[in-house]
Amino acid sequence: MQTKTFIAAPIQAKRHNQSFFEELISSLATITSVANPNQILNVPSTQEISQLRSQDIFSANLKLIASSDIFLAEISMPSLGVGFEISKARDLSKPIICIYDTSYAPEISIMIKGIVYENIHFIEYNDINDLIQKLSVLYEKLNLQQTDSVMSHFDELSPIYDKTTEWCADDNILDWFAEEINGKKKHLDLGCGTGLAVGKVDRSMTTIVGVDFSSGMIEQSKNRLDVAIIADACELPFLDGYFDSISIRQMLHYTNPNIALNEAYRVLKEGGCLLTAHISAEFESELEFWEAFKRLTQPQRRRYFTNENLLSLNRESGFQVLNSKSYFINRNVSWKLLKSISVNKEIVEIASEFIARLPTNFSGHFKLSDDGFEYRQHWSLINAKKS
pLDDT by 10-residue block (mean), the chain, 387 residues: 83 70 90 88 68 78 85 88 90 88 75 78 92 92 79 88 84 95 97 94 95 95 94 94 97 90 97 97 85 76 88 96 94 82 70 77 80 90 96
The per-residue b/e assignment along 328-343, b for 16 or more CB within 10 angstroms, e otherwise, is ebeeebebebbeebbe
At residue 108, φ and ψ (nearest 5 deg) are -95, 175
Q: How many Cα atoms occupy the beta-carbon half-sphere of 23 within 13 Å?
A: 10
Same fold yes or no, 3-156 and 164-327+378-386: yes
Residue pair 109/85 in contact by the 8 Å Cβ criterion: no
Q: How many Cα atoms occupy the beta-carbon half-sphere of 196 within 13 Å?
A: 22
Report d(CA 227, CA 172) in Å as an integer.
25
| 3-156 placed in CATH 3.40.50.450 | yes
Residue pair 179/201 in contact by the 8 Å Cβ criterion: no
pLDDT at 181: 97
* Encoded amino acid at 335, one letter: W
The total of other beta-carbon atoms located within 10 Å of residue 38's CB is: 8
pLDDT at 46: 62
Q: CA 198 → CA 249, 268, 290, distances in Å?
A: 10, 17, 27
**164-327+378-386: CATH superfamily:** Vaccinia Virus protein VP39 (3.40.50.150)
Report d(CA 68, CA 52) in Å as an integer.
23
Report d(CA 375, CA 184) in Å as an integer.
36
pLDDT at 342: 67
CB neighbour list of residue 220: distance below 8 Å, 6 or more residues apart: 158, 159, 161, 162, 193, 194, 195
Q: Where are the domains of the chain?
A: 3-156, 164-327+378-386
Three-state secondary structure call for residue 304: coil
pLDDT at 15: 61
Q: What is the DSSP string of 130-191?
A: HHHHHHHHHHHHHHHHHHHHHHHHHHHHGGGGGGS-GGGG-HHHHHHHHHHHTT-SEEEEET
The per-residue b/e assignment along 168-187, b for 16 or more CB within 10 angstroms, e otherwise, is bebeebbebbbebbbebebb
pTM tops 0.85, yes or no = no
